[in-house]
Amino acid sequence: MLVQVLVLFAALEARAGQDKGAPEKLDVPNSSPAFYYQPIARGLQPVIMYLHGRSGYPSEDCKKWAHAARDLGWVVCPQGPESRDAGSRGWANDPVSAKRIIDATLNALREKYGRRVQMRGNVLVGFSEGAFVAMQVGLQDPKTWNRWLILGGSDGYIFNGKEAIEENHSTLRRVYFFTGKNDEVAPNTEKAAEIFKSAKVPVRVRIEPGLGHEVPADKMRTNYRKPLRWLLAQ
């Protein structure tokens, strides 16, 4: 029986690592469509929502994250409200508009797929400007988004959120900060992590040698698989 389970697990891992092609599109009321991949597993599954950086390409980003996370839950990639060069998108440093888009995206997914979509205890992943948005939105709605993967984050993104972190320390389950050592915000990432630690929020920090301000497509599973599994572990 154990051998069968291990074989099945290996098959799921291999399947998760395969390129599934273009993501599906999700119509989001009063917003641009979001991109997503359905989870491999059946039944109720968590949502792993990726918030792109400034001048990001949500569809292409979603392909990258599907490679790392399809077998862990729904991989969902909304588009920021700001249209930028060559079809890229931004969040206009506006967490209020971002929260409306994020809420509408999650609700649209739930309406389409029903109880297969988890509505509490989900994961927010944010890179750069998306990290800023993720931290702001996560503090506003820590029940829905109580697990964060913050890429290229900074203590400067917290603003007046220190009290909110302390107030919600029992709701925020886990936070993982991941920044390249060659990224100029690396020292600020460590400062941000210390703020969460002082509020007794479970935190891990990884400053990756040889990495700059980027999310490299060829290292998705190598870099981000373990952080995601840790975030979803309990």
Instruction: State the chain's mean pLDDT as an integer.
Output: 91
- Whether 131 shows a pLDDT value over 90: the answer reads yes
pLDDT(1) > 60:
no
User: Is residue 8 very low, low, confident or very high in pLDDT (cuts 50, 70, 90)?
Assistant: very low
Region 78-88: mean pLDDT is 94
pLDDT, position 163: 84
Mean pLDDT on 112-127? 98
Give CA–CA dist 75/77, Å, rounded.
Answer: 7
Tokens of 200: 């007794």
Instruction: Please determine, for residue 217, whether its predicted confidence score (pLDDT) is greater than 70.
Output: yes
Task: Give the per-residue pLDDT at 20.
Answer: 57
Per-residue confidence at 63, pLDDT binned at 50, 70, 90? very high
Question: What's the whole-model pTM score?
Answer: 0.90
Contact 77, 56 (CB under 8 A): no
| All domains in the chain, ordered by first residue | 25-231 (3.40.50.1820)
9 pLDDT higher than 80: no
- Start-to-end CA span in the chain (Å): 25
Q: What is the DSSP string of the chain?
A: -HHHHHHHHHHHHHHHTS---SPEEE--TTSPPEEEE--SS-SSB-EEEEE--TTB-HHHHHHHHHHHHTTTSEEEE---SEE-GGG-EE-TT-HHHHHHHHHHHHHHHHHHHGGGB--SSEEEEEETHHHHHHHHHHHH-TTTEEEEEEES--GGG-TT-HHHHHHTTTT--EEEEEEETTSTTHHHHHHHHHHHHHTT--EEEEEETT--SS--GGGHHHHHHHHHHHHT--
- Asked if pLDDT for residue 233 goes beyond 80, the answer is yes
Q: pLDDT value at position 138?
A: 95
Q: What is the mean pLDDT of residues 134-143?
A: 95
Residue 234: pLDDT above 80?
no
Q: Provide CB contacts within 8 A for 88, sequence distance 6+.
A: 55, 56, 57
Asked if residue 172 lies in contact with residue 164, where contact means CB atoms within 8 angstroms, the answer is no
Q: Mind listing the pLDDT tens digit for each residue in 19-52?
A: 458 999 999 999 999 999 999 999 999 999 999 9
| C-alpha–C-alpha distance, residues 74 and 118, integer Å | 9
User: What local confidence, expressed as pLDDT, does residue 191 receive?
Assistant: 96
Q: What amino acid is encoded at 122 in this protein?
A: N
Strands of the 47-51 sheet, one edge to the other: 24-26, 34-37, 74-77, 47-51, 122-127, 145-151, 174-180, 203-208
